[in-house]
Amino acid sequence: MLFATRLNSLRSRPELAFPPGALQTADLLQRAARIQGLNSLSLNFPEHFTPATLRETRDTIEALGLGVDSLNVRYPAEPFGDGGFTHPDAGTRQAAIDLTCQALDACAALGGNHVIVWPGFDGFDYPFQDSYERMFDHTVEGFARVASHAPDMRVGLEYKPWEPRKYSLIGNMGEALLVVQEVGADNLGVVLDYCHAQMANEHAPKAAALALRHDKLFGVHLNDGYGRQDDGLMVGTASLVTTLELLVLLERGGYPGTIYFDTFPVREDPVRECEWNIRVTQRLLSLARELAGDDRLGTGHDGFNVTQVIERLLFPERVHV
């Protein structure tokens, strides 16, 4: 399993590693290289680099012995604050499509094969603000054009129920899969973010199962939280058992992708924080592989199934398989 981390999480506590001053992308990459167990990167485009600085970024990554798994598209508030693919102006919609296609080309040049699209500004704030039908039509059109730009590259739609808009147009797994179904491109799928699923009042393992059912789970962002907002806490610290169930679903479903740690350390040492995320995920994956092969778990509509899992977590020496 490849492990990648949110590069911007490494901006926190700069005094632990750097002299005073703003951290550049090269500084964040050097910090990432110190994380034990990290073997992949997922950069933001065009936040962390642009086409003009692509070669320099690629050389830095190669010199550090790391690789690029994916790019996350970040649409600037100007001009996309009123929407990207859903903007009422055709020229702005085209600019959002062009930026996403540039990300696909940049990702390929860096050796990656996956661009993650979080259409954060595509949504609404007030009743009667816009036509839902029009916005959905333009979303399907936008993703169709992006997917056709580079058929050999995977495009992952990352949903979130709100923030920065009061309502996102694509706010849950069902809506994301509907877009994927209407586009009908083999290289378009869904990215599940654990905290986003919590915010949408989804049970993340169930949401993952829906995408796995259609072979459309293209990415998993692991973190943790309490469901009221995008907390981005360390993996397994608030809902350990549900996190384990998600990993069991990934094992049973043959998920072949990367685990990306989308966490937000503020007071914590970000290197130590990421190393915890990797360490606990490796341990949970090991247990998930054992549980995935146990046909007695997840069947029979038996509430005591979860107690067996908890006993394996707390008292492994007492468990007789």
Going by DSSP bridges, is the β-strand pair 2-5/68-73 parallel, antiparallel, or unpaired? unpaired
Strands 167-168 and 2-5, by their bridges, are unpaired
Cα 204 from chain centroid (whole Å): 13
**pLDDT at residue 246 in the model:** 98
* pLDDT at 53 (0 to 100): 96
Q: pTM score, two decimals?
A: 0.96
CATH code for the domain of 127? 3.20.20.150
- Single out the residue of 180, 216, 175 nearest to residue 196, CA to CA: 175
Q: What is the DSSP letter of 64?
A: T
Beta-ladder partners of 155: 115, 188
Nearest to 247 by CA among 265, 224, 272, 271: 224
Contact 194/246 with Cβ under 8 angstroms?
Answer: yes
Q: What is the pLDDT of residue 17?
A: 84
pLDDT at position 88: 98
Which segments of the chain have a pLDDT < 50? none
Q: Which tens digits make up the pLDDT trace of 189-215?
A: 999 999 999 999 999 999 999 999 999
The torsion defined by the Cα of 177, 182, 188 and 190, in degrees rounded to 10, comes to: -10
* Helix or strand (DSSP H, E) at 41: strand 41-45
The number of folded domains in the chain is 1
Domain that holds residue 64: 2-318
Nearest partner of 108 among 170, 157, 155, judged by Cα: 155
Tens-place pLDDT, residues 65-92: 999 999 999 999 999 999 999 999 999 9
